[in-house]
């Protein structure tokens, strides 16, 4: 009987060959999220995909862009790239550093607003999968509201009446925000209440097409509405920086805090005993609320990665309800953008999330296309005029005129307007 003997060494290697895995490395600026990825998100994916191993490898946030650029040029970047919204990632795609994701299973779970931050200007190609957004609105001190007999305002009239009553009490600062750092005045102020007045996506796209201007209509009305906050800001607000305002509110000395949803986790850590509540951007002049549901984080594939198939498998999972549930609960205030069902256990974060069903949604007016010029820069102009407006150094009309003039100086669809 003729027998073919199989060497023992080959028998030992056979199981290893069957268990061969692909390792994916994720580049990210979110080093704060390392524990969440390591302990929750990655194990859940690897359990469903035992042949793919994932390594989360963040850089310092301030150094991320430079580090990533250097790695991409050197050919040492990871397989998956955490994507900044809008122009930085578009720049990488145009330089052929990111793969097109068209045709990816799960991409249909995202609407056009969610994909806008990581798509070409014509919307035909998406190069990062939308991972999370932040939502603007208002946080409030529930104990202060209860003490003063206040309820959550839904209209501007109710909001201003509540501010007046809080100020009259003399016990709490009505509206906790400073203007020293400037960006809060635009981001938490103008871009918070403004989308309702400029009809959300209609107005935002009007700026891009040239049919809307910052010194007219809803964009001017938003400056006027922001000016009405001035009497209710804290004493010395002109010298109040962002961390100062956070401390003031966390100590329970303020009643209302114009917020980004990322502040939820911050206040939970700073003062777990603070009774947080939240209300959506209020209606103004009878207009239905529109929230700023701002795309913040995406995830794309390094075009030079040798593991394209495994990377697409991972991104398909990121588009799922399983990822959405994990991510939203691990990082309250960062909301997955996929149109899948998920709930979050933090009641304040869940309140923010419900506004998507109650209000229209848009994102910051200056982020898509309009801030591509270095100087003047549309985003920086909004920081400047919004803070000057609240400081009393500029009227709403002057604020709108300056922003419009600077935008029209370089952006062709706005020239002469």
Asked whether residue 241 carries a pLDDT value surpassing 90, the answer given is: yes
Note the pLDDT tens digit of each residue in 93-107: 999 999 999 999 999
Distance CA 271, CA 254 (A): 13
Name the pTM for this structure.
0.88
Tens-digit pLDDT profile for residues 16-54: 445 689 999 999 998 888 999 999 999 999 999 999 999
pLDDT number for residue 234: 98
Is residue 3 pLDDT above 80, yes or no?
Answer: no
- Predicted pLDDT of residue 7: 52
pLDDT at 158 over 90: yes
pLDDT band at 61 (very low <50, low <70, confident <90, very high): confident
For residue 165, the Cα-to-chain-centroid distance in whole angstroms is 32
CA-to-CA dists, residue 278 to 83, 138, 147, 149, 151, angstroms = 29, 6, 17, 16, 11
> Rg for the chain (alpha carbons), in Å?
24
Cβ neighbours for 61, distance < 8 A, ≥ 6 positions apart:
29, 30, 31
Question: In this structure, what DSSP letter does residue 186 have?
Answer: I
Q: Which long-range contacts (CB under 8 A, 24 or more apart) does 344-348 make?
A: 346/264, 346/268, 348/139, 348/264, 348/276, 348/277, 348/278
**What is residue 2's predicted lDDT score, i.e. its pLDDT?**
43
**Structure confidence at residue 8 as a pLDDT band (50, 70, 90):** very low
Give the burial string for 259-291 (b: 16+ CB within 10 Å, else e). bbbebbbbbbeeeeebebbbbbbbbbeebebbb
The closest of 132, 135, 134, 137 to 276, measured between CA atoms, is 137
Q: What is the mean pLDDT of residues 279-298?
A: 96
| pLDDT at position 120 over 50 | yes
Q: What percent of the chain has pLDDT over 70?
A: 95
pLDDT confidence tier of residue 62, bands split at 50, 70 and 90:
confident
CA distance 416 to 61: 39
3-state class of 75 per DSSP?
A: coil
Closest CA to 68 of 9, 19, 6, 26: 26
CATH class given for the domain over 23-132+295-356: alpha beta
Strands (E), 254-367: 254-260, 276-279, 290-301, 360-362
> In this structure, what are the phi and psi dihedrals at residue 77, rounded to the nearest 5 degrees?
-70, 155
pLDDT in tens, 379-400: 999 999 999 999 999 999 999 9
Instruction: Report the CATH fold assignment for 135-293+363-414.
Output: D-Maltodextrin-Binding Protein; domain 2 (3.40.190)
> What single DSSP character describes residue 337?
-
Provide the residue ranges of all domains of the chain, joining segments of one domain with +.
23-132+295-356, 135-293+363-414
Query: Two tokens at 209?
Result: 């097409």
* C-beta neighbour count of 106 within 10 angstroms: 18
Residue spans of beta strands (DSSP E) within 225-349: 254-260, 276-279, 290-301
At residue 277's C-alpha, the angle toward residues 272 and 279, to 5°, is: 150
Mean pLDDT of the 195-217 span: 98
Q: How far is CA 380 from the centre of its chain?
A: 18
Same CATH topology for 23-132+295-356 and 135-293+363-414: the answer is yes
> What is the Cα–Cα distance from 308 to 315, expressed in whole angstroms?
10
SS3 category, 234? coil
DSSP secondary structure string for all residues of 112-150:
HHHHGGGB-TTSS-B-EEEEEEEEEEEEEEHHHHHHHT-
Q: At what angle do helices 263-270 and 347-358 cross, to 10 degrees?
A: 160
Contact 364, 294 (CB under 8 A): yes
Number of Cβ within a 10 Å radius of residue 17: 8
């Amino acid at each position: 009987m003729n027998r073919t003997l199989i060497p023992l060494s080959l028998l030992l290697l056979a199981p290893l060959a069957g268990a061969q895995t692909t390792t994916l490395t994720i580049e990210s600026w979110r080093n704060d999220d390392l524990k969440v990825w390591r302990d929750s998100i990655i194990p859940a994916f690897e359990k469903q995909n035992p042949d793919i191993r994932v390594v989360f490898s963040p850089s310092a946030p301030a150094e991320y862009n430079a580090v990533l650029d250097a790695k991409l040029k050197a050919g040492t970047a990871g397989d998956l790239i955490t994507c900044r919204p809008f122009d930085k990632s578009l720049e990488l795609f145009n330089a052929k550093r990111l793969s097109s994701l068209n045709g990816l299973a799960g991409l249909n779970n995202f609407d056009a607003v969610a994909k806008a931050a990581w798509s070409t200007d014509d919307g035909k190609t998406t190069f990062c999968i939308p991972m999370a957004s932040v939502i603007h609105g208002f946080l409030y001190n529930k104990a202060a509201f209860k003490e003063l007999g206040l309820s959550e305002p839904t209209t501007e009239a109710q909001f201003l009446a509540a501010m007046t009553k809080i100020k009259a009490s003399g016990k709490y600062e009505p509206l906790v925000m400073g203007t020293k750092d400037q960006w809060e005045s635009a981001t938490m102020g103008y871009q918070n209440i403004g989308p309702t007045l400029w009809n959300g996506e209609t107005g935002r796209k009007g700026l891009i097409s040239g049919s809307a201007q910052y010194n007219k209509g809803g964009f001017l009305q938003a400056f006027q509405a922001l000016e009405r906050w001035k009497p209710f800001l804290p004493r010395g607000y002109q010298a109040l920086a962002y961390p100062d305002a956070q401390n003031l509110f966390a100590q329970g000395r303020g009643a209302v805090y114009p917020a980004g949803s990322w502040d939820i986790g911050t206040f939970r850590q700073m003062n777990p005993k603070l009774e947080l509540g939240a209300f959506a951007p209020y209606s103004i002049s009878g207009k239905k609320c529109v929230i700023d549901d701002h795309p913040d984080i995406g995830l794309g594939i390094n075009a030079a990665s040798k593991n394209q198939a495994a990377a697409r498998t991972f991104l398909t999972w990121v588009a799922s309800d399983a990822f959405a549930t994990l991510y939203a609960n691990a990082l309250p205030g960062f909301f997955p953008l996929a149109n899948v069902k998920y709930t979050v256990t933090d009641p304040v974060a869940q309140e923010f999330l419900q506004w998507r069903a109650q209000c229209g949604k848009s994102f910051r007016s200056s982020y898509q296309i309009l801030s591509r010029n270095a100087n003047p820069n549309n985003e920086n102009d909004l920081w400047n005029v919004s803070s000057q407006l609240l400081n009393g150094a500029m009227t709403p009309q002057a604020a709108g005129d300056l922003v419009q003039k600077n935008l029209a100086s370089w952006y062709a669809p706005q020239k002469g307007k």
